[in-house]
Chains A and B, each alone.
Chain A
Amino acid sequence: MAIEQVDPELVEFDVRTDEMLINMGPQHPSTHGVLRLVLRTDGEVVTNVVPHIGYLHRCAEKIGEKLSPRQWIPYTDRLDYLAGMNMNLGWAMAVEKLLDLEISDRARHLRVMMCELNRIASHLVAAGCYGLDLGSFTPFLYTFREREKILSLFEEVCGARLTYSYITPGGVTADLPPGWLDRCEQFLGEFEEVIPELHAVLTSNEIFIRRTAGIGVLSREMAVNYGTSGPVLRGSGVDWDLRRDGEVRVTKMYEDYKFEVIVEVEGHYPQDRDDYPPVPPEAVLGDCWHRFYIRMIECVQSIILIRQAMEKYRQCDEPLGEPIKTNQRLPKGEAYLETEAPKGQMGFMVVGDGTAIPWRVRARSSSFCNLSVTGEICRGCLLADVPAIVGSLDIVLGEIDR
């Protein structure tokens, strides 16, 4: 039974066979959680992909209307649960923006340290799972080995390995335990040596390049128009990073820090050292390979940032400052703030009505926008490319479904 094709967006083939509808997910090993993709396939070729989300919807925004900003912090942990610190930070800064609150420098450096560590952890998961999506098991365990070290560092700081609730409006909940900076420095040293190893098993692997280069190309215009952000946006060659280009409140956090925004300039990346693989000739700007590579190089930037933060933290002896009280009254008005989370721009909005409980809470998820391009860039690819493309977007369903 041949299906009559009237949709001009569908891909045309020389040979037309019967089409098949397949549910990829919500229980599928490579959809990174409970994403469901409905694939319309013609043999191995995928003609259409429709993502269905909402399987992990936990009414976070509705719950936020019943809790005070400090009470809602644990819920932000569970948005992008691979980067809890960054989620805490986004919410904390949005509330600070509404309250017009400044934090101490000591807390600021701590925040930078934690967020960048968490960025490394998140990118490590992204890289490892991406290997898994392409059928390579070993890098996954290598990256998780490193991530465990980061989680142990976090555990020392805040007692939790995944849901930290560490960064709060007004600062952070606790100062560093003694000796932590040395252990962090030791980790950074170890991790630096692992990066070339990861490049060897993934980035420069011939099969890896063939599976990712030129696949799922997201053009610059499309990336901006779809509101993608983070490595997905930069992978398409858009030089945009909120740590440098964001609102004053965000850029002030990274004031007097030196780092580079990782984006391709004329076939090269800043910081692509000799022991890191060069851009392969097959790679097209905006493809899976570039998105992956940007995450890998961003880890290096994060190391640089953490080292600076540790140095600044050591020199800073002003008090840490107190986080806001649970019953802190919020002024009338609204504040929307986006921060650069590992997966992209995480926006939080808080509407105050004069009481301690916000009138409305909103979380603008980066993965939500990043995922929305799948339908567009998966069209006409092969079945095996679907996990490759979805994996390169690095989505977390906790953040998409909220």
Chain B
Amino acid sequence: MAEYLVQFGFPVWLAYGGIAVVQCMILLGIMMGAAATFTWMERKVSGRIQDRLGPTRVGGRFGWLQSPADGIKLLCKEDLIPKDADPILFRLAPYISFSASFSVFLALPFANGWVAQHLNMGVFFILAVAGLEVYGVMLGGYSSGSKWSLYGCIREAAQVVSYEVPLGLCVLIPVMVAGTLDLVTIGNMQQGWGWNWMIFHSPFMFVTFFIFVTCAVASTNRAPFDLAEAESELVAGFLTEYSGFRWSVFFMAEYGSMVMVSGLGAILFLGGWYGPIPVAELLGLTHANHAILGWLGDLLGACNFLFKAFLGVTVMMWLRWTLPRLRIDQVMTTCLKYCVPLAAAMFVGVVLWSYALPGGIFPRKTPLGAVAEGPTWPAPQATGGETP
């Protein structure tokens, strides 16, 4: 995009800077919208699951007024900082969490080439930056000056850091099969019919997906792994002393990372922006035919991707409203005794499978393991050299 503007005589700094701001604004909008949608959705899903009378009736048509009402309530709440809290760190913490959660979206493609910053090591970037979110939580818990918050943040640190190991292993497996860290390329490899999806690569990959789901839920701190909040044990964990706007920033970060892991799972395992039936290709909505048609195809892909991400988030909500919480030792046992060895075994399994059946069982359009020509559009960004 920026190159496009430069062609029209814009100064380079303005072109890149302007585009960066625009992209950030779009992503911020997406994230805010997602947070509002998900609060609404969480209410609706929990209301249905729990047979509640309130959420299924209140708030105008489809309850859309509830989310704005929530937002207004949170903004109008008194801005409390406990006497014993470290005022600077206490204020800073939510924004660290939010920034980390938000930055991830810079490298997350929504469709073929629809990515703010096309990185050729996108997976790596996402894992690294998503790992930063825990710092916000730790700072928030530590600076609150409350023992419950301290417990929450220590738990969070122990849990999230541990779960990064199996999560990384699970992510590594599709990456190894694809032979690239580029999310756009990985997504494009799964073009075609549903059996081209990475999850159907091998039985080992299938199992890996479920380990990934477990670790993803755990690393986003959602029930049944929400030990850092654990309201029946730790009052509200690291959030105990937070209220109003700062609390809602933490909340948005949580929803952001939920979308992020769901999206990552969709790209790595569930075909990314390609549906089980290649509708776009069958209808001829490809860039090869016409730029507009290609754009429409990408739009369809983006919808596909968002649908999968939302599905992932819904599953997380479903889990949250169904399962009791695990105890801290059980959480750590699940991670270290089950997830890590299993993921490692799956890694070996997939290696052997790929060695024995290099082409997989089903014929693929794009052979896995070979880095394809890269994204079809925009081609020059494939090197990831663009830095605003």
Contacts and interface: CB of A to CB of B under 8 A. Distances in A.
B232 A134 contact: yes
Contacts of B324: 131, 134-136, 202, 205, 207-208, 211
Interface in B212-255: 223-224, 226-227, 230-235
Pick from A132, A133, A135, A137 the residue with the most CB of B within 10 Å: A135
B230 A135 contact: yes
A15 to B, nearest CB: 14
Contact of A211 (B50, B51, B230, B327): B327
21 contacts: A29-B235, A30-B232, A44-B328, A44-B329, A131-B324, A133-B232, A135-B223, A135-B224, A135-B231, A135-B232, A137-B50, A138-B46, A205-B323, A207-B324, A210-B327, A211-B325, A211-B326, A382-B328, A384-B227, A386-B233, A387-B233
Contacts of A77: none
A14 to B, nearest CB: 15
Given A137-B46, A387-B232, A207 B328 contact: no
Contact of A210 (B147, B233, B330): B330
Given A30-B232, A145-B51, A136 B327 contact: no
Contacts of B230: 135, 384
A138 B151 contact: no
B147 A384 contact: no
A101 interface: no
Given A134-B324, A207-B326, A211-B330, 12 more contacts: A20-B147, A28-B235, A134-B325, A135-B226, A205-B324, A207-B224, A207-B323, A207-B330, A211-B327, A383-B151, A383-B234, A387-B232
A139 B226 CA distance: 18
Contacts of B330: 207, 210-211
B51 A142 contact: yes
Interface residues of A, number: 30
A141, A145, A208, A386: which has the most chain B beta carbons within 10 Å?
A141
Contacts of A201: 322
Contacts of A211: 324-327, 330
Interface string B27-53: 000000000000000000010011110
A138 B232 contact: no
A130 B233 CA distance: 12
Nearest to B229: A135
Nearest to B158: A44
Interface in B322-346: 322-330
Contacts of B232: 29-30, 132-135, 387
B307 interface: no
B52 A141 contact: yes
B321 interface: yes
Interface in A133-162: 133-138, 141-142, 145
A11 interface: no
A132 B325 CA distance: 9
The 3 A-B residue pairs whose C-beta atoms are closest, nearest first, are A135-B325, A136-B324, A134-B324
Interface in B280-325: 321-325
A44 B151 CA distance: 8
Contact of B233 (A142, A202, A208, A384): A384
A138 B233 contact: no
Contacts of A387: 232-233
A386 B46 CA distance: 27
Nearest to A215: B327
A200 to B, nearest CB: 10
Contacts of B226: 135
Interface centre among B49, B230, B327 (most CB of A within 10 A): B327
Nearest to A28: B235
A28 B235 CA distance: 6
B188 to A, nearest CB: 39
A293 to B, nearest CB: 15
B327 A385 contact: yes
Nearest to A20: B147
A22 interface: yes
A22 B227 CA distance: 18
B49 A138 contact: yes
